[in-house]
Structures are given as C-alpha cells and as structure tokens.
Amino acid sequence: MVRRPVLCRGVERELGWSMGTGASRGTGTRRRSAGRGLTGAQRALLVGGCLVNIGTFAVYPYLAVLLRDRLGVGMAQVGVVLGVATLVQFASAPLTAAFAERIGLKRCLLLATSVYGLGAVTYLVGAEDPALTVLALFLGCGAGALYSPAYRGYLVHSATAEQRPKALSAGNAAGNLGIALGPVVGAVFLHDPGRLFAMTTALYAVLAVGHFFLRPESAAASPARVEPFRRVLKGLAGLPFAVTVLTHYLYMQFYQYLSPFAEDRVPTAVYGVVMMGYSLAVVAVQPLVARRVGRVGYPSAVAVGSCCMALGMVAFAGGRVVGLAAGVAAMAVGTAVLFLKNDLEALAGSTRSATVTFGQQRLAVGVGSLLSGVVGGAVYGLFERAELLPGFWLAVAAQCLLLPPLVLVVARRLSRTG
C-alpha cells in the first residue's frame, strides 16, 4: 500500500475531492467538478474586479501629471514617488496575502475596497495639500496590495486543478477589461479632477457594499496551519517565480517604453486605441485558450508565449501604425499564455495556500517591473542617444528568445543538484 504524504491529503481537502483507492470514484468526481461552471459568488467578484480596475485605471495613467501639478516638482521627483509607491505595493503583497489568509478573503476584500474609497476621498479633499496627495497615492497602492491576492485566492479557493484555468482566466479577463475601460472613463473627467475623484469615491462605496454581501469562502478551503508572517516566502515555487520575474521584465518594456517610442511616429489617439485593443485582446484570448494552457507542459507554454512576445517586439521596430497593431496582437497572445501558465504552475508547485501563492507571484511581478525600469530604461537610453531606437525593440526581441530557455535550463540543473 502506498501512503500519500500529508501535503497531498491537504491539497485533496482544499480541492474538494478524494483520490481514494477506487479509481472510478475519483475520476467521476473530478469529471463532475471539472464540468461545473463559475458560482454566483465568483461571477459577482468578477464584476467587482472589473469595477475596481476601472476606478484604479481612471486615475493611474494621469497620476504623473496630477502629482506634478499638486506637488509642484519636476518629473524626476514624480518618478521617484511613483516608483517607491509601486515597489511598496508589490513588495508588500506576500504580507498582505498572509494577512488575508488570517482574517479571511471576504473580510480582506471588504477592507481593500474601503481603503480604496478612503484614498479617493483623500485625493478629493487634498487638492491643495501635497502631503494628502502623496498619502492618497500610498493608500491606493496599499488597497491594491490587499485586493489582488485575495481576489485571485477567492476565485480559486474551492476550484479543482481542472477548474483553475477557467477561473483564473475569467479573473484576468475581468481585470483587463477594467484596465481597458478605466483610462476612457478618466479621460472624460480629466478636465475636472474633483469630479473624477468624486466618481471614484462613489464607485468604491458601492463596491464596499457589494463586497459586504459577498458569500464568505468555505472554511474547508482554509489552510490547516497558518505560517507566521516572517515565513511568507516559505513554500515558494521557484521556477514559476523566476519565469514570472522574467515575463514581467520583458512585458513592462513594451508597456513602459512603447509610448515615448510612438510619440512622434503615430497620432496619440491611434496609440490610445491600439493600447486599448491590447487589453481587450487579452480579455478575448485568455478564456479561449485557458483549457489548452492548463494542459500543455510548462516549457511548451513558455516557448509559445516568448515567441509571440518576440514577434511583437520585432513588429514595434517598424514604428508604423500597422506594425504597432500587429505587435500588440502578438503581445496579447504571448502575455495571455504566460501570465496564466505562470500562475497555474505556481499554484501546482507551491506548498502554501492559493492566496499566499498569489502574493508571492505579485512580488515576482514587482521584481520584474523594477528590473525593466532599471535595466530596460538604461538600454533604451543608449539606443536613444545613438539615434537607433528601432534597435531597442530588436534587442528586447532577442532577449525574449534567449532568456526563457536559459532560465529553464538553469532551474533544471539547480533542481538536479538540489
């Protein structure tokens, strides 16, 4: 008789089915679970996740201008403030995820929406006070750090391994829809920041009420043992963490540096439409490929996603509208595959709860974004000074092809030596 480890039995309890000695019984249970659609509570949370991002991204694209005007400083100082706030948001995610594990996912979501609302009110009343504006920025970042791991954890807390791709892709699609619509909403109110923050305050108030009535997660899905805060990185899935860092290092170069590159090459309105198209394409693509991404091996998914990203970077080098549109389409496919597969592999390889695992993944996103800002910004500056900016995208495309296999090979060798 083969004895299963305690971890395996714990995972079975979390997923809600038993791998008993009767193979037909286990298979039948899994098939019934796999066929179950999203619950009403999950659908309600998807709406909430979309609206949260509408409120966030109605403000986020215009924060640099807002801070410059309210603080009365240059863009260099504004960049430092934004960089520190973003780093705090991502670096604190493992801690906020562990906090959500302790107080419960519903309570954490309710607290996060309340902090979002407090941040919006602080923006509203702090129009003439630079200190209040900075406080509002950090409140928004803190709310995001609380909301994201709990949001994803709630979506998969009772899902089987077969159901996770669908639940995660639906959550990502809802979030990306909010990212696409948020800047449009912000542009409508941008001429009057007071109205913008009054609108976001009302939105978060409604969301707080909605999350209050959200069904609590089942107690059976809670971990049997909660680790202390000092061990928030215990049980980290090393390979998905490393690939997530790399994915966002490459992706953020597209997100951060395409705007200045396209500034004198395509009309601003066209660029805005193209970037909205990217978010909407991810909304459309990820649910369509979710089941296939869940089944394919990790190296294959990394290869497909990285090659699509490389094609997108090459298309950007032309600097034409058609090239930007084609590049964005390729990037949408590549990131849809990589973002989903990285999270699925992290869930499969981690020994912690789904919520804590997502917190660890948010930290990886933050590290990759930081590397993109430091390394990518320096490389972009070199090509800009040499007046060879199209070459920057070719250099990033080369990294998309060379770095992922290198990370996989190094990880395989480390696992063998370990």
Q: Give residue 200's identity as a one-letter amino acid code.
A: T
Fill in the amino acid letter for 119: G
Where in the chain are all domains bearing CATH 1.20.1250.20? 37-217, 233-418
Three-state SS for 359? helix
Phi and psi at 6, nearest 5°, equal -60, -40
Instruction: Give residue 161's pLDDT.
Output: 85
- This model's pTM is above 0.75: yes
Pick the CATH number of 37-217 from 1.20.1250.20, 2.60.120.10, 3.40.50.300, 3.30.1370.60: 1.20.1250.20
Homologous superfamily of domain range 233-418: MFS general substrate transporter like domains (1.20.1250.20)
- For 244-298, the three-class secondary structure string (H helix, E strand, C coil) is HHHHHHHHHHHHHHHHHHHCCCCCHHHHHHHHHHHHHHHHHHHHHHHHHHHHCCH
Question: Three-state DSSP class for 37?
Answer: coil
pLDDT along the chain (418 residues), means of 10: 38 33 38 61 94 92 81 78 85 93 94 97 91 94 95 90 92 93 84 89 96 84 71 89 95 87 84 88 93 95 97 94 95 96 95 92 91 86 91 97 94 70
Q: Which two tokens stand for residue 163?
A: 């159901």
What is the rounded CA–CA span in Å between residue 374 and residue 376?
A: 6
Burial of 10-32, coded b for 16+ CB within 10 Å and e otherwise, reads eeeebbbbebeeeeeeeeebbee
Helix (H, G, I), strand (E, B) or coil at 319: coil
Q: DSSP of 91-129, one letter per residue?
A: HTHHHHHHHHHHH-HHHHHHHHHHHHHHHHHHHHHTTT-
Nearest to 315 by CA among 250, 259, 394, 237: 394
- Look at residue 246 in the predicted model and tell me its pLDDT: 96
Give the pLDDT of residue 132.
94
Question: Using CA atoms, how far apart are residues 157 and 164, in angstroms rounded to an integer?
Answer: 9
Q: Which of 364-381 are b and which e, b meaning 16 or more Cβ less than 10 Å from the residue's Cβ?
A: bbbbbbbbbbeebeebbe
